[in-house]
Structure 1
Amino acid sequence: MTRLEYRKKYTKKINDLKYIIDNEKIDLIQKNNMMDRDIQRVLDCKNEKERKEKWCDTLKIYMDRYLKIEKNYDCYGEFMIRASDLGIKEAHNMAATYYFLKKNYIEGERRLYLMYASYEVLPVNIIQPILENINKYLYDGNELTSGMNNLITSIIQQGNEVEKKEEDGQYLLTKNKK
């Protein structure tokens, strides 16, 4: 008798919760499929110029949607991680930054290496985010890892001048090769 009363009392609530969970699963699958489809459109571009334009257009859409409208930085970060995982080199920086903000430094450092490895010679707009993420890591009270030190050394070996400020230990790009 107790089971029947329990079932009668909670069946509707259980079914309502199942419905909510099912809808959330559907939304998540649709969101992931949409992200993968948009990323694949970028990867399918025939030349570098077209790919960069498509990436910029796609990035703007996601920034508008997740940062301006929905104000959901985690969904935006998820998009950057998916794009980085699928090999869009422009997404490595934003994925690294996302991981550093979430204090997942191991994955953040890995993304910095992905970014570094994506270029034969690092342009300034790539060097700056690497140093900014390393500085964030140091600012959070951590010690410089050997991997981060190797990144800084590689930047210097490419002909860039990087200065370590004495007062706070932060790294600055003082001069890049022309």
Structure 2
Amino acid sequence: TDPIRPEPVYRLGLMGIGVGGHAPVALGLAERALQEIVGIVEDKVRPGYTGPVGESELFRHDFARHEAKYRAAQAFVYEVFGQAQATVDADRPLTDEHHARLRQAATWAQEVAGDVVMFAHRWAGSATVRQPSALGRCVRDAAVATQHALVDRMTLVEAAPAIMPAYRR
């Protein structure tokens, strides 16, 4: 589609704008799940733990790994969308690689968010299913978001041919 508004963002195209809306939602779900689980495990006790779950080495290890995955996905999204935005701001057309990276970043952010939310869900135990539960809402929202057609895993398959040439020597 040809943009009818003058702002450069509309030159990202329908897919660029569409996937641009999905990645921030995914990142927000992941961040909220991390916030919720930190609060839940402060006082949560379980059999086999010597104190609150949040003080266990196993939880802290898992938390650090998932928080890093969230931060890496966030940085990737900002990088890819920043490059695309800079290109259209400079009045240059987006390349096939730009379009592929936009879809790749949005899909990857959804995958990572789903993983982060499920990490929090597993550690929260029954706190996720009690009403009302912000973490429970994150679980439901992530389950829906990861099923959207714009972030289907096939988008990574479709993106690969435009990305692979950058790695040829």
What's the TM-score, normalizing by structure 1? Answer: 0.28
| Greater share of strand | 1
What's the TM-score, normalizing by structure 2? Answer: 0.29
Higher relative contact order (CA closer than 8 Å, sequence separation 6+): 2
Whichever of the two has the greater Rg, that structure is: 1
| Greater share of helix | 2
